Amino acid sequence: MNILVTGGLGFIGSHTVVELVSAGHTPIIVDDLVNSKLEVLNRIEKLTHVRPVFYELDLCEEEKLDMVFQAHPIDAVIHFAGLKAVGESVGKPLEYYSNNLGSTLSLLRRMVAHGVKNLIFSSSATVYGTPPSLPIKEDFPLGETTNPYGTSKAMIERILSDFCKANPDFNIALLRYFNPIGAHASGELGEDPNGIPNNLMPYVTQVVVGRRPYLTVFGDDYDTPDGTCIRDYIHVVDLAIGHVMTLKKLVQNPGLVIYNLGTGKGTSVFEVLEAFEKGTGVKVPYKVGPRRPGDLPRLYANCDKAFEELGYKATRTVEEACRDAYNFQKKNPNGIE
């Protein structure tokens, strides 16, 4: 199938493009290169021996986006594009809401205009807010999000749910990612955030290649076995494969579906550092600092629904993700240039 991949040169988007090609699909990539680099397209070609069609554009430029739909018969869309730095979003709410919501509305209007009825949306476990219990299930109510990034994801989920009610012939899947980590085993693709990494793994790999002196562990006095926060870390290649498996189900299944994409297993920050040392032989220098506002002690997924309905199960371990993330950062010490 012809799959329009928005944000297809980003961290999760690029890994998904590789899996789409290996599954026999034809990805068409649109990306505004705000949080990604054109070199990623060369890496994708190197890995797949296919150079996907690429358009540099901002999805909010609706006329330009329409030309992509005119030029290609699109069977489905996977929508990754969006600003995604939690910390940055607090200081730039208008930019986050206008970009993330505006680009989605523009995309939906073009899909309606061109009769494209299959959409996978890149959502996030952050929409659950503080869950009533653990593990987190898809039918839990949406919670209080604590930053414009997370709130924009929750708002887009709401838009898509209302849109689906008004357009019952559309097939929409909301994929709620837990904590994506790792990189393609080749080291050609990986997590390459702009500026100081918000997330744990890219910070760790930048420390061990010498770009930063040490990791600050944000608090070790939480009500958890070792005092550090617990998260559900899923290898980005497992996450990418989850999108390909959702695609198959989507085109058979009218209406809106929601899946958690995680491992169902919780891992603490200290356990990640242990796994990193085990997987790479490298010890991560760290200091314990104050808690980060907004961090919740424990978050991990119930993944039964994706397994029962898609036959999907993440298989890669945190240790493998650490090894792959380190391999990527060693090959790209200053990120993808």
Binding of ligand WQD by 26 (CB under 6 A) = no
Stretch that binds ligand WQD, among 52-60, 104-112, 198-206, 306-314 (CB under 6 A): 198-206
CA-to-CA separations, 76 to 52, 84, 212, 317, in angstroms, rounded: 15, 23, 41, 30
- As a whole number of Å, the CA-based R_g of the chain is 19
Binding of ligand WQD by 179 (CB under 6 A) = yes
3-state DSSP assignment of residue 128: helix
Binding of ligand WQD by 203 (CB under 6 A) = yes
Binding of ligand WQD by 155 (CB under 6 A) = no
Identity of the residue, 167 or 198, whose beta carbon is nearer to ligand WQD in the bound complex = 198
Binding of ligand WQD by 259 (CB under 6 A) = no
Site string for ligand WQD, 89-128 (x = CB under 6 A): -----------------------------------x-x--
Q: Are strands 286-289 and 215-218 parallel, antiparallel or unpaired?
A: parallel
Q: Could you list the beta-strand ranges (E) of 166-307.
A: 171-177, 179-181, 215-218, 230-231, 233-235, 255-261, 267-268, 286-289
Binding of ligand WQD by 146 (CB under 6 A) = no
Is the distance from CB of 107 to CB of 4 less than 8 angstroms? no
Question: Which ranges constitute the DSSP H helices of the chain?
Answer: 11-22, 39-48, 62-71, 86-91, 93-113, 148-166, 200-208, 236-250, 269-280, 304-310, 318-331
Binding of ligand WQD by 200 (CB under 6 A) = yes
Residues 28 to 87 in contact with ligand WQD, rule: CB under 6 A: 84, 86
Residue nearest to ligand WQD (CB): 229
User: What is the distance between the alpha carbons of residues 21 and 17, in angstroms, rounded to a whole number?
Assistant: 6
**182 is written with which tokens?**
């790792």
User: What is the distance between the alpha carbons of residues 171 and 198, in angstroms, rounded to a whole number?
Assistant: 33
CB atoms within 10 A of CB 91: 10
Binding of ligand WQD by 220 (CB under 6 A) = no
Catalytic hit among 149, 233, 259, 326: 149
Number of residues that bind ligand WQD (CB under 6 A): 20
Binding of ligand WQD by 15 (CB under 6 A) = no
Minimum CB–partner distance for residue 215 and ligand WQD (Å): 6
Residues 268 to 307 in contact with ligand WQD, rule: CB under 6 A: 269, 292, 295
Does the active-site annotation cover 312? Answer: no
Stretch that binds ligand WQD, among 17-25, 95-103, 132-140, 194-202 (CB under 6 A): 194-202
Minimum CB–partner distance for residue 50 and ligand WQD (Å): 28
Quick check: bond before 93 cis, omega within 30? Answer: no
- DSSP code at position 120: E
Is the distance from CB of 122 to CB of 82 less than 8 angstroms? yes
Chain residues that interact with ligand WQD, rule: CB under 6 A: 84, 86, 124, 126, 150, 177, 179, 198-200, 203, 215-218, 229, 231, 269, 292, 295
Catalytic residue numbers read 149
